[in-house]
Structure 1
Amino acid sequence: MGLTDSEISKSLIEGESKLAQLYIVGNSESIESVSDMMTEIGTVITVLIIKRKELIRNSSQIDTLSGLRDKSSDRIDTYIKMMEEISIKNESNQDKFDSIKRFCDFESERVSSFKKEIDELIQAQDVKMKAFAKDSLFEFFRVSELTPRVICSIRKELNIPTDIEFIARVINESNNKVKESLRGVLMTFHY
């Protein structure tokens, strides 16, 4: 979540300038397959950036509430010190002590309220983060299904022997290994 939208899309934009060369010298099959893949990648990035904005908003809300909780906790500490000073000095000003205690109790209730709200937001964020991670991986694997067509069209253009079934099998096996290794991670993913 620490990357900006422009940092995320930067590599895609840089890649497009390199692909312009292909558009100049490539045959129609290569141009079409690469264009299809780049369109899918661009669409996926845009959709995921939009979904990511909600997660960033939620994280920001958690940070804001955490800051408010911390300020209230600091106030409680200050009030406790003030009450200790009154007790140490043996001041007989019970009204002052009671007033400070009310402020302390008020801030304690706020801390509890903030903690409860933060916990609820973190639980909701965890669910949304898991869904986002799964969506991202799903889209990665979906787009990677276009790779054999791109590879084969370019290999064909370069007069390199092409076996689309072999290339598709290699890519699918690789994707399956990644899916399997990430399966456990996604099940235990926490914010």
Structure 2
Amino acid sequence: MTRAGLNLDRLAQVGAELADEVGFGQVTPSALARHVGVKVQSLYAHVANAQELKTRICLLALEEMADRAADAVAGRSGRDALAALTAVYRDYARQHPGRYQASRFQLDSQTAASSAAVRHSQMMRAVLRGYGLPEPEQTHAVRLLGAVLHGFTDLELAGSYAHSSPDPGESWTWTIDSLDRLLRTWTTA
């Protein structure tokens, strides 16, 4: 990449690619400067600091996942929508492990409120409305789904299921079926 090609969007894209190669935690302005073949001072003409760089990579990942999720859940409901939405996250994590990790970077509240994180929440809640969950149960269910989804995916990415039977895909299907049964029979407190 030439210096003329540097801008914040391009640095976020290259940073996301680097995150997939070496891990999100290893992406720093210095590492990115080495990767693109410039001095770190040249990078600071486009990005203020490591926090801004990581935020931009997070926002890129959230946008990519939201676009995929919106396409996946369109026209679906119930278990079908649940399976489609959760598959997007699992597949994205396997295809882009660094970006997936970046998507969980802690954003400040103002940035989060104007990011694709809002679309993720809206899609999750739309799926859950198909199960007839009122508040506050809907919020509990969002947290439950997030915990199961991220927990399973993190363990799978770490290789925890690599040498055991059954295949993780079977466990994933079983998990989605179990979540669907739970959501269909959810009782309010």
TM range (shorter): under 0.3
Higher helix share: 1
TM-score (norm 1): 0.25
Q: TM-score, normalised by structure 2?
A: 0.25
Larger radius of gyration: 1
